[in-house]
Amino acid sequence: KEWPEGEVRGLRARGGFEVDIAWRNGKPYRATIKAVQKGTCALRAPQGTKVQSITCNGDVIPFSLDADPHVVRFQAQGGKSYLLSLEAMP
């Protein structure tokens, strides 16, 4: 059974990242990526969503889209957390 609202924390991802994801009305709206080490973070937005913005301590972080519009990349600094705002794709 699907949960209409909730969040998960502390998921481990390849490349030295930890991920928290929150959703409401069955759709993800926020993700936090913590970089354990410095490097490029490449991630795929959940199906039906796209990354609207990435911020770190209020600063906007530039990101690039791959050929697949669901995949974004950005440069992460070790020990920092990045807030991703997600929105539903039309």
Q: Looking at domain 6-88, which of 1.10.357.10, 2.60.40.1180, 2.60.120.310, 1.10.1050.10 is its CATH number?
A: 2.60.40.1180
Cβ atoms of residues 78 and 35 within 8 Å: yes
Residue range 55-79, pLDDT digits in tens: 999 999 999 998 887 899 999 999 9
Residue range 42-61, pLDDT digits in tens: 999 888 888 999 999 999 99
Whether pTM > 0.85 for this model: the answer is yes
Cβ atoms of residues 54 and 83 within 8 Å: yes
The residue among 37, 36, 46 whose CA lies nearest residue 72 is 46
CA separation for the pair 33, 22 (Å, rounded):
12
Domain boundaries along the sequence of the chain: 6-88
The residue among 11, 77, 82 whose CA lies nearest residue 39 is 77
Rounded to 5 degrees, φ, ψ at 78 are: -55, 135
